[in-house]
């Protein structure tokens, strides 16, 4: 994907804006049988989308079943009082409709256009492989560049960086190594969060962070492929294959129909090494799982399995041999 295609996929997040609220005497939640509205001060009121109503209830701890049992004017008074106890907070808005309530963020909002431009300058021949929109109004970008390395003959991987950030500042920007296995286009992240930005004041420090972190992530491919070559030497006996696979399915949170598909893959091509097991789960994260949170959990499980210390904790064969 090019920059414009990435921005188009990010449109649902980019269209959001954040308004900070200091709860005052004129701040009100307004409830009728047909609509919920919110007035942040002495000015106009804004409609609250059903998603925003659920967000507000979760934010203030107002049980939904209790709200359904009370009169609308009572719900309005209780919700207003609970928001007043928060003092300061933020509302998320899209086209003058409130879609969410949250704490006022101390994190840095990131311009998507500038983030993509910075990544393009940091990785030669960059390609944006995949975009994941996260539930917390953040985005995870899987990017790769020109640099390629063989794990073994005929099995090339491409170096890149995984970058996560929020256009509205819901998370701290972070960068990890990302490597794409070209044989079956499976993507793998590393356990190392190479850099995480901690906002300390005004200025453009965040863009220096982006440039340096993305470059560091891109250069980590040699260390990662060296570890994978070790995993090729870690044989798994036929008697242990099912046990190791089940342990990884559990660690990755892959259940039900998706787990059955992975088991079918393993029957077609029985995994003989730790590297084979890893690639079964990365195949699921790249080709089978669709929900972003499930993809990320599987990626993290694979990263831990590939890391030597964590591998011994996860792998039942290694635990048994200790």
d(CA 292, CA 63): 27
- Calculate what percentage of the chain has a pLDDT beyond 90: 63
125-133, Cβ contacts within 8 angstroms, sequence gap of 24 or more: 126/160, 127/1, 128/1, 128/2, 128/3, 128/5, 128/6, 129/1, 129/160, 129/180, 129/187, 130/187, 131/1, 131/6, 131/9, 131/10, 132/292, 132/295, 132/296, 133/9, 133/10, 133/12, 133/13, 133/292
Answer whether residue 165 is part of any domain.
yes
Answer whether residue 157 is part of any domain.
yes
Residue 136 scores a pLDDT above 70: yes
Sorting pLDDT into bands at 50, 70 and 90, what band is 37? very high
| Predicted pLDDT of residue 85 | 95
* Burial profile 145-184: b = 16 or more Cβ within 10 angstroms, e = fewer: bebebebeeebebbbbbbbbbbbbbbbbbbbbbbbbbeee
Q: Check whether residue 130 and residue 149 sit in a common domain.
A: yes
| Predicted pLDDT of residue 53 | 94
Q: Check whether residue 119 and residue 200 sit in a common domain.
A: yes
Answer whether residue 10 is part of any domain.
no
Answer whether residue 176 is part of any domain.
yes
Q: Check whether residue 79 and residue 139 sit in a common domain.
A: no
Sorting pLDDT into bands at 50, 70 and 90, what band is 210? confident
| Predicted pLDDT of residue 202 | 54
Answer whether residue 7 is part of any domain.
no
Place of tokens 């190479």: 194
- Asked if residues 292 and 259 have their Cβ atoms less than 8 Å apart, the reply is no
Residue 298 belongs to domain spanning: 233-321
- pLDDT one-digit tens code per residue, 142-178: 999 999 999 988 899 999 999 999 988 888 888 899 9
Sorting pLDDT into bands at 50, 70 and 90, what band is 121? very high
Domain boundary among 75, 102, 129: 102
Rounded alpha-carbon distances, angstroms, from residue 152 to 24, 224, 233: 65, 13, 12
Answer whether residue 2 is part of any domain.
no
Answer whether residue 295 is part of any domain.
yes
Place of tokens 């840095």: 108
Q: Check whether residue 120 and residue 222 sit in a common domain.
A: yes
Residue 108 scores a pLDDT above 80: no
Q: Check whether residue 40 and residue 22 sit in a common domain.
A: yes
Residue 200 scores a pLDDT above 70: no
- In the predicted model, what is the mean pLDDT of residues 244-260? 95
Q: What is the mean pLDDT of the chain?
A: 89
* Burial profile 259-288: b = 16 or more Cβ within 10 angstroms, e = fewer: beebbebbeeeebeebbbbbbbbbbbbbeb
Q: Check whether residue 296 and residue 186 sit in a common domain.
A: no
d(CA 277, CA 292): 22
Domain boundary among 81, 102, 123: 102
| Predicted pLDDT of residue 196 | 57
| Predicted pLDDT of residue 7 | 94
Q: Check whether residue 126 and residue 219 sit in a common domain.
A: yes
- pLDDT one-digit tens code per residue, 267-290: 999 999 999 999 999 999 999 999
| Predicted pLDDT of residue 172 | 82
Q: Check whether residue 30 and residue 63 sit in a common domain.
A: yes
Query: Can you state the percent helix, strand and coil of the chain, rounding each to 5?
Result: 45, 25, 30
Lowest mean pLDDT among 15-29, 153-167, 172-186, 301-315: 301-315
d(CA 237, CA 277): 12
Residue 104 is classified by DSSP as P
Domain boundary among 173, 199, 227: 227
| Predicted pLDDT of residue 275 | 94
Answer whether residue 3 is part of any domain.
no
Residue 244 is classified by DSSP as H
- In the predicted model, what is the mean pLDDT of residues 242-257? 95
Domain count, the chain: 3
| Predicted pLDDT of residue 107 | 66
Sorting pLDDT into bands at 50, 70 and 90, what band is 316? confident
Reduced to 3 states, what is the DSSP secondary structure of residue 168? coil
């Amino acid at each position: 994907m090019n920059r414009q295609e990435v921005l188009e996929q990010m449109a649902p997040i980019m269209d959001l804006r954040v308004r900070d609220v200091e709860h005052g005497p004129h701040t009100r939640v307004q409830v009728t049988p047909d609509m919920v509205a919110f007035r942040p001060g002495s000015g106009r009121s804004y409609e609250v989308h059903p998603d925003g109503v659920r967000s507000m209830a979760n934010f203030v701890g107002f049980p939904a079943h209790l709200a359904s049992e009370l009169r609308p004017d009572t719900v309005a008074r209780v919700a207003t009082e609970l928001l007043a106890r928060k003092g300061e907070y933020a509302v998320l808005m899209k086209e003058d409709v409130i879609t969410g309530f949250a704490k006022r963020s101390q994190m840095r909002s990131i311009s998507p256009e500038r983030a993509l431009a910075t990544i393009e300058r940091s990785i030669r021949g960059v390609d944006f492989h995949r975009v994941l929109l996260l539930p917390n109004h953040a985005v995870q970008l899987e990017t790769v560049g020109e640099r390629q390395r063989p794990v073994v003959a005929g099995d090339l991987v491409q170096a890149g960086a995984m970058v996560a950030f929020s256009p509205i500042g819901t998370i701290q920007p972070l960068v990890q190594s990302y490597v794409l296995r070209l044989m079956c286009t499976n993507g793998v992240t590393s356990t190392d969060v190479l850099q995480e930005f901690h906002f300390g004041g005004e200025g453009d420090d965040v863009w220096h962070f982006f440039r340096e972190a993305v470059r560091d992530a891109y250069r980590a491919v040699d260390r990662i492929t060296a570890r994978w070559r070790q995993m090729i030497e870690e044989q798994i006996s036929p008697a242990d294959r099912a046990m190791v696979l089940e342990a990884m399915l559990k660690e990755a949170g892959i259940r039900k129909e998706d787990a059955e598909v992975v088991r079918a893959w393993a029957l077609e091509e029985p995994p003989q090494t730790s590297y084979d097991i890893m690639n079964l789960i990365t195949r699921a994260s790249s080709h089978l799982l669709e929900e972003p949170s499930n993809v990320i959990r599987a990626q993290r499980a694979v990263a831990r399995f590939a890391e030597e210390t964590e591998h011994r904790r996860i792998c039942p064969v290694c635990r048994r041999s200790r």
